[in-house]
Amino acid sequence: MARGDSGLKVDRRKFLTGVAVAGAAGTVAPHAADATPAASAAAARLPSALPPTAQTIAAETGTPDIPPYSQHGRPGSDFMVDVIKTLDIKYLPANPASSFRGIHESLIDYGGNKQPEFLTCMHEESAVGMAHGYFKVAGKPLMTLVHGTVGLQHASMGIYNAFCDRVPVIIMGGTDLDAAYRPPGVPTVHSAQDINAMVRDYTKWDDTPVSAQHFAQSFVRAYKIATTPPYGPVMLALDAGLQQEPIEDHGQKLYIPKYVKGAPPQGEMGAVREAARLLVNAERPVIVADRAINTTQGIKLLVQLAELLQAPVVRQRGRLNFPTTHYLSRPAGVIRQADVILGLELSDYWATVNGFVDNNEHGVGMNESHIKPGTKLISLGNHDLMTKSNYQEFQRFQSVDLQMAGDVEATLPSLIEAVKSALTSDRKAAIERKIEANKKAWQKGRDNTHQLAAIAWDASPISTARLVMETYNQVKDLDWSMAVESGNTSNWARRLLPMDKHYHWTGSSGGYGVGWGSPAAVGAALANRDEGRFTVNFQGDGDLMYAPGVLWTAARHKIPLLTVMHNNRGYHQEVMHVQRLANFRNRVAYLGNDMAPIGTSIQNPDVEYHKLAESMGWWAKGPIKDPAELGPALKEAVVVVKSGQPALLNVWTQPR
């Protein structure tokens, strides 16, 4: 990367060679620190194709001397911290790396480790997952720092989840761009021409600033792009040279652009009125909501709309969207009866109105429509404003009759007003006549669901319905957040528990990249901690094992969280997939010594999650297999979490 001033190049080279030699000093040549600049420059110019020498490994892994790099002025990374501090970013979960040591040091020593506070993570995927979970509760983005190549590779699945789930995360990746001056060996292996390329397909925007001023513009721009709907992750490559070089006075005054929150996009008013007309005149309108609502206020708006229309609401998995306790809340079956469907930020409109049965028919599976011919489809959402090409999260194409690109929460007030104006007194009376029947239908559905939950109530391993109810019973009097669900507990929490706040249930990962549950729960718990709320998550066993180090992060930073394991001892989705294929092929699935087809079980030996958690500073208990022992263990765990410590219960559960 070209530097703005050739004088800087000289400084940078001196500095870099100094570090290479200083790093070597400890292990290779005790007196090398005294070497002349010429000698050290020669050492630094080793051909970079060679494997790293002891010297360069030492530069990466040894204890570096802090060089006097700021003797000509403030380090660039101090200015970066000034920029970051103008935005409301409370935490910075990250795994440390040499390529961003400049800004790391500035953040803690110059910035005082506040706004943002550095939270030590053990995996970059955990850091991004935490930021993801945090946003779902707090509605504010966090930032993270990654080693630009290997660290970003670790982070990438988390970034994909955030992208699919339309959640803002600000990612900065350290990279040493100047091939002529960067240390050879490991730091060079850890640099790339364009680190952002790897995540460009699933970030909303990225940039590689080449000057301090460029950084200031790009950081504020990145923040703004990430936090303007449709939300999404953004990526900045951060040159090591830019962080470490002093800012010299060239007569040009550095400035920090002011961040002003942008107004979210709204559905076009003509289309909003047409949607209202269709909905008001429908006999059986149905509302389906997925990633629609991020706030409790938004949930209230959707209640208003649903009540005006007496339209049942189907809650998909992206967010809570609608109170579970409301008499218009319904399972997906109502879609089959609809004559008008309002889809709110649906991640998959096709699968909302069609079905795919994985039964080997029609090639791989059977496709069928779930709606009556002539059903009018309306779509409102931000997704139309951000469609990329490579990754297929945009799903199958579904034609709709009326499409409104716009933010659901921002558009709901105008839609509600338009519905009110479109309601004639006849229509109003006809709609109001549905209230009693709707209340009855809801009560019937509730009874039915509770009776289903009673089946296998005393089973061991413990039924997922019981797991959920025993847990709820211990937290129901608190301001609770059942933040994140990983694994699959048959949706019992959303089917059985009274939820009407956005943080009662924060929805799925978006990209279904497994390993998201535990870091997202820790991130959500961090946001809840600051509001004095109690956080609990149902934790899949397979999900936890991708990067269990996040448990340590929670203990280290005193993030109280009750983790209740849904330990079904397998990658259960895959258990069923392999069985399914074996049946289709008329073969017996080979189990080896396990319960499930080879390669899908997590047993022999069983993982002792309670010991794993205990080893990282958690209070933990298990394995709990007898349902009668669950309530008392939960009671103990809740006391621990209320005292500010995380706690985990290793519960053996039914598969789903």
Partner 1 sequence: MHRQIVRVALAAAVAGAFLGFNPAFAAGDAARGKLQFVKHGCWQCHGFRGQGSVASSGGKVLAPDPLPWEAFSAFVRSTNRAMPPFSEKILPNRDLEDIYAYLQSVPKTADYKSIPLLAQ
Options 125-133, 268-276, 376-384, 572-580: segment touching ligand HEC (CB under 6 A): 572-580
Partner touching 557 among partner 1, ligand HEC, none, CB below 5 to 8 Å by kind: none
Residue 328's Cβ-count burial label (10 Å; 0-12, 13-18, 19+) is buried
Alpha helices (runs of H) in 340-458, residue ranges in sequence order: 349-353, 408-422, 425-432, 435-454
Residue 202: how many other CB atoms lie within 10 Å:
22
- When CB distances to ligand HEC are compared, the closest residue is 576
Closer CB to ligand HEC, residue 38 or residue 588? 588
Nearest approach in angstroms of CB 555 to partner 1 is 30
Partner touching 70 among ligand HEC, partner 1, none, CB below 5 to 8 Å by kind: none
Residue 573 contacts ligand HEC per CB under 6 A: no
Nearest approach in angstroms of CB 196 to partner 1 is 37
Q: Out of 194, 361, 626, 636, point to the residue binding partner 1 (CB under 8 A).
A: 361
Closer CB to ligand HEC, residue 502 or residue 572? 572
Of residues 418 through 457, those in contact with partner 1 by CB under 8 A are: 447, 450-457
Q: Give the residue among 351, 599, 391 at the shortest CA–CA distance from 513.
A: 391
N-terminal to C-terminal alpha carbon distance within the chain:
53
Residue 108 contacts partner 1 per CB under 8 A: no
Residue 580 contacts ligand HEC per CB under 6 A: yes
Options 299-307, 392-400, 553-561, 575-583: segment touching ligand HEC (CB under 6 A): 575-583
Closer CB to partner 1, residue 368 or residue 530? 368
CA distance 546 to 126: 9
Q: Give the residue among 450, 77, 127 at the shortest CA–CA distance from 246.
A: 77
355, two tokens: 């079905």
Partner touching 447 among ligand HEC, partner 1, none, CB below 5 to 8 Å by kind: partner 1
CA distance 311 to 340: 10
143 phi/psi in degrees, rounded to 5: -120, 160
Tokens 């005193």 sit on residue = 558
Options 14-22, 77-85, 98-106, 574-582: segment touching ligand HEC (CB under 6 A): 574-582
Distances (CA, A) of 36 to 14, 43, 226, 519: 11, 11, 48, 48
Residue 401 DSSP symbol: S
Of residues 453 through 472, those in contact with partner 1 by CB under 8 A are: 453-457, 459, 461, 463-464, 466, 469-470
Point out which residues pair with 64 in neighbouring strands: none
Options 124-132, 159-167, 295-303, 490-498: segment touching partner 1 (CB under 8 A): 490-498
Residue 391 contacts partner 1 per CB under 8 A: no
Residue 9 contacts ligand HEC per CB under 6 A: no
Partner touching 588 among ligand HEC, partner 1, none, CB below 5 to 8 Å by kind: partner 1
Options 33-41, 183-191, 259-267, 576-584: segment touching ligand HEC (CB under 6 A): 576-584
Residue 434 contacts ligand HEC per CB under 6 A: no
CA distance 553 to 565: 18
Closer CB to ligand HEC, residue 467 or residue 596? 596
246-247 and 74-75 beta bridge pairing? antiparallel
Q: Out of 424, 473, 604, 643, point to the residue binding partner 1 (CB under 8 A).
A: 473
557, two tokens: 């930073």
444, two tokens: 């019937």
Residue 576 contacts ligand HEC per CB under 6 A: yes
Point out which residues pair with 92 in neighbouring strands: 118
Give me the sheet containing 234-239, strands edge to edge. Answer: 143-147, 170-175, 234-239, 205-207
CA distance 205 to 222: 7
Residue 163 DSSP symbol: H
CA distance 353 to 371: 6
Partner touching 351 among partner 1, ligand HEC, none, CB below 5 to 8 Å by kind: none
Residue 395 contacts ligand HEC per CB under 6 A: no
DSSP letters along 286-332, please? EEEESS---SHHHHHHHHHHHHHHT--EEE-SSS--S-TTSTTEE-G
Options 44-52, 99-107, 282-290, 595-603: segment touching partner 1 (CB under 8 A): 595-603
Residue 579 contacts ligand HEC per CB under 6 A: yes
Partner touching 113 among ligand HEC, partner 1, none, CB below 5 to 8 Å by kind: none
Partner touching 603 among partner 1, ligand HEC, none, CB below 5 to 8 Å by kind: none
Of residues 561 through 590, those in contact with partner 1 by CB under 8 A are: 572, 575-576, 579-584, 586-589
Phi-psi region of 281 (alpha: psi -120 to 50; beta: other; left: phi over 0): alpha
Closer CB to partner 1, residue 191 or residue 537? 537
Residue 370 contacts ligand HEC per CB under 6 A: no
Residue 162: how many other CB atoms lie within 10 Å:
33
Residue 296 contacts partner 1 per CB under 8 A: no
Distances (CA, A) of 283 to 45, 313, 427, 504, 537: 77, 15, 10, 32, 40
Residue 357 contacts partner 1 per CB under 8 A: yes
Contact residues: partner 1, CB under 8 A: 357-361, 366, 447, 450-457, 459, 461, 463-464, 466, 469-470, 473, 488, 490-491, 495-496, 572, 575-576, 579-584, 586-589, 591, 595-597, 654-656
Contact residues: ligand HEC, CB under 6 A: 576, 579-580
